[in-house]
Structures are given as structure tokens and as C-alpha cells.
Structure 1
């Protein structure tokens, strides 16, 4: 692990391998270990893979309890880390909230993106009901801790069948969720409640783009992936059978195969 002092916070990150830079952004409420299988494999295969704990997650500085962390703040953190590492242009990928951060980064810094991976995410702005639920969930996490949330959503993050047959994956996902700082999770939930609509900006994407989704995903179903596929010119859609919201862990081999093909096309 390495750390960097950026914008008043200490960012924890891993920087593995050499070659084409690939930055992978974790989802909520996880940490950079979510991408460990991909970081280890692709760093051995000629890529420089960078994974960081987002602001308020993992080993990166957490915000004060009253803060709201918008997707624009997370995107700016990624830009600052890339500057710190001397990387101007890179492949950028994210899952779930990480995918929305990627969309925000693409909107704000399009010239820095060499390719996009959008996994199990959605481009639409939050609904009024969604805003209410996210803010209420943030309140409850601050009051009671995040354990109840982790237990409640495990079988949506990882399909019930994979919880049964892949206990190692289920344990990893549960551990990430249970160890996420409550303040960081709550701040991000409040920020996501105010996220913009990325559908128009996706129409302007000109770089190679891969969209991945699990067939069992209840949070961001296949229809959301199909929407992004329709919006992004020339994009590739990969639907991973038997995975829910975490195909890179639930169906690692299948996910890695489509990602490997995508990276080879970029160079």
C-alpha cells in the first residue's frame, strides 16, 4: 500500500505493474480490495493498475459526520491522484457508485480518459423516492453503524446462489461492507442522492467503452446496462450469467475474459 496527501486527505492506494494505466474505482460500501483479483492479474499482463480507497472508505481519510461527498468530489480526487502519479491519460473503470464516479470524471475531464469500463451502474439522476431512502439510510448508518446495512444487502450484492457456492466471495464482500466507516458511507449516500443525469454526456463519449452487468443484478438491472449501451456510440455490452451486483468477484473468470479483450483492443 502507498499513500498520498491530496486536498487535505490521506489517500491509500495500490499501484501495480507497468504499461497502459488502468484506474479502477470501487463501489459503495466497499474499498479498493474489491478490485484485487483484477489488479493482480492485469498488472502481470502488461498493465499498470491503480486502485485507491475513495474519500471516507477503506484506509483513506474519512470526512466529518456532517459532510456530503458528491460524485464531483470523488472525480476530482481521482484527477489529483493521477496527477500525483504522473498519469495524464488512462483507462478508467468503476462498478456501481464507482461507475457513476467514472461517468462524472468522463463528463468533467474527457481528455484524460482512454477507455471506459462501466460495471453494474446506472446513468439516471436519483428519483425523489431514491433521495428520501438514501438520506434516511445515511441517518440510520450514523446512528446505528453499518452492520445492519451490510447484512441486509449481502444477497443483493452477491446472488443467493453465489453466497451459497462462493462463501469466500460472500465473506470478502461482507467484510468490506462491515468495515466501511459509517461517516464515509453516509456522506457518499447523501452525495449520490443529488447526482446529475449522465445520459446526455454519455452520448458524447468517443473512447472505447465496455459495459458489464450481472444477470441477477437487482440494484442496476440489465435494462440500465442496455440503456448505456444505446447511449454510448460503439460501446460493447457484456452480460455475465449467474452474477448479481459484483460480477468481477462472483464470476471472476468471465468478467476478466471480457475485460482482457477490451484492454487488448485499446492497446
Structure 2
């Protein structure tokens, strides 16, 4: 299922687009919006700014547009912010024989860094992006300047959670990707935000609709079968920020506290009034936390 036609010159590997205003400010920030052929997939990416590289990985079943409110403010603070759509999500496509796996998502992200000539970056992962970042760290720790863990978890999925993700996959197959939005929005945003800012819910709903059925199934399987990364936490030696929405019901603050206790020297910031998509719902608070942590960690 494709929403964005892929044809002729519109798919140059590096498509440069100018922008004078992005969500959150930073007028005139340098922007690249393009596609990269990676491991048999075509990966859509957006790059804003020219400073210290920061690669942000979205959760299930979203896209890089989850970070639309973060790119420009972080770029204005001196960072080159790169977001990607994992294969099958957003504007990215994937071959039928490899719709996605934890290893593939991690390899894709590292290959994007290679093609953009980034030897190292601050790497952040939201929700499913966390296990992907852990896999990247196990594979290539030398590529990390720092690590940002956003409303995510290091524990493997228990029996109940495994079946939730299996149900999500089955629902996508039976009723289509759009059917997942009502299931997810109640956890992505607080009730107050859904009531008072319906445009936020509509934006996330549209992102969810863009995924392919195959990607929805693959991502759900990644979440259901993710490995135990608790032992990985103790091996992390780069500066680490853990961001958590206080109202997150998918991976509540207790899990973030456990990660903070296991990553030496890590920083935990809990954002009030935010649920699972805290990076989007309370973008200003999240941006401030990221900028302060990065500067205090010498990552500027």
C-alpha cells in the first residue's frame, strides 16, 4: 500500500529543498528532504541544520514526522537533526521479502549514516526506536556520540504485551493500517490533549495511516519479540538522556527509572502532562531537555 507515488526524478537520492519556516522556529534552517537506497529499501529522510549530527528514530507505527516539532528548534541550537522513516513507514518503501526486522531497521539507520557521511551521531529512539538504538549500539557502539531514549523500554515483552502486538498486526491485516489509530491515540496523547488539541490527534492519525500493512506486521513482531536489553544498558558509555512522559501508559515512568539506574551517569527527565508521544505532545519541554542535556554533556 503506497500513499506517495514513487516516480522518475522526484526520487533523486538527495533532493534539496529550501525552507524558511519549520514548526517550532529556526527560520532559514538548511533542510534536505530526500530518499536513499538502503539494503534493498528506499528510505525517506529529512535533515535540518548543520551542527552536531543527531539521528532520531520513530516508534510504531509512525514516521519521521513524529519529530516535526523538534527538528528546527534543535537545529537552531546547533545540531544537524536527521529523521528517517523506517522501511514501510511514512514515505519509505521496502521489498516484499524483507518488510522489516530489528536487525534490518538498525542496519538501515547505520547505512543512512554512511550515505550521509556521518561517522558518529547522537542517536535517539522513541518507543520501538529504543530497541533499534540498542541494536545499533550492540552492533556499532563507536557510531554513538550520545544516546537519547524516549518513552521506550529495555525489558523484553511479557506474555500480555506480546499478544497486544500480535493483535495489532492482525487488526492491520484485517482492517488496514488506519484501524490502528484509535487503538494507539488513547496512549499516544493525554485525554486533555485529545480534547483540547484535536489537530494533534489528527496529525498522528494521518501518520499512522501512511504505513503499509506489511510494515505494521513487521513492527508489531519486532516489539513482541524484542530481546532483553537490560544487559546492554550496563555497557553504555556515552552520555545518555532518558525522556519520559509522566502519563505514558505504554511504557510507564517505572521503566525509565530502571533504565536510568542501569546506565552509568545517565540523566532522566520526566515531562508532566505528556503521554507516550511526549516528544510530540510536549515538544517544547522535550527540546529544552535535549538541548540542556547535550550542552551539559559537551555534545555541542
TM-score interval, smaller chain: over 0.9
Match of 1:220 in 2: 251
Match of 1:80 in 2: 111
Match of 2:169 in 1: 138
Structure 1 position 38 matched with structure 2 position 70: yes
Match of 1:200 in 2: 231
Q: Which has the higher contact order (CA 8 A, sep 6+)?
A: 1
Match of 2:185 in 1: 154
Give, in angstroms, the shift of residue 68 of structure 1.
Answer: 6.0
Of 4, 10, 13, the match for 2:45 = 13
RMSD: 1.4
Deviations 1:96-129 (A, max 9, x none): 0012211111121111101010010010112233
Q: How does 1:1-267 map to 2 (within 5 A)?
A: 1-64=33-96, 69-265=100-296, 266-267=299-300
TM-score (normalizing by structure 2): 0.85
Give, in angstroms, the shift of residue 167 of structure 1.
Answer: 2.1
TM-score (normalizing by structure 1): 0.95
CA contact (8 A) 2:155 2:229 kept: yes
CA distance in structure 2 between the aligned counterparts of 1:4 and 1:156, rounded to whole angstroms: 32
- Tell me which stretches of 4 or more aligned residues in structure 1 moved more than 3 Å: none
CA distance in structure 2 between the aligned counterparts of 1:134 and 1:253, rounded to whole angstroms: 30
Give, in angstroms, the shift of residue 67 of structure 1.
Answer: 5.2
CA contact (8 A) 2:40 2:95 kept: no
CA distance in structure 2 between the aligned counterparts of 1:248 and 1:132, rounded to whole angstroms: 26
For structure 1, the residue ranges without an aligned partner over 5 or more in a row are none
CA contact (8 A) 1:29 1:180 kept: yes
Give, in angstroms, the shift of residue 47 of structure 1.
Answer: 1.1
Give, in angstroms, the shift of residue 138 of structure 1.
Answer: 1.0
Structure holding more helix per residue: 1
**Counterpart secondary structure, 1:59:** coil
Give, in angstroms, the shift of residue 134 of structure 1.
Answer: 1.9
CA contact (8 A) 2:40 2:94 kept: no
For structure 2, the residue ranges without an aligned partner over 5 or more in a row are 1-32
Deviations 1:142-199 (A, max 9, x none): 1210222211221211011111122222221111112222211111111222211000
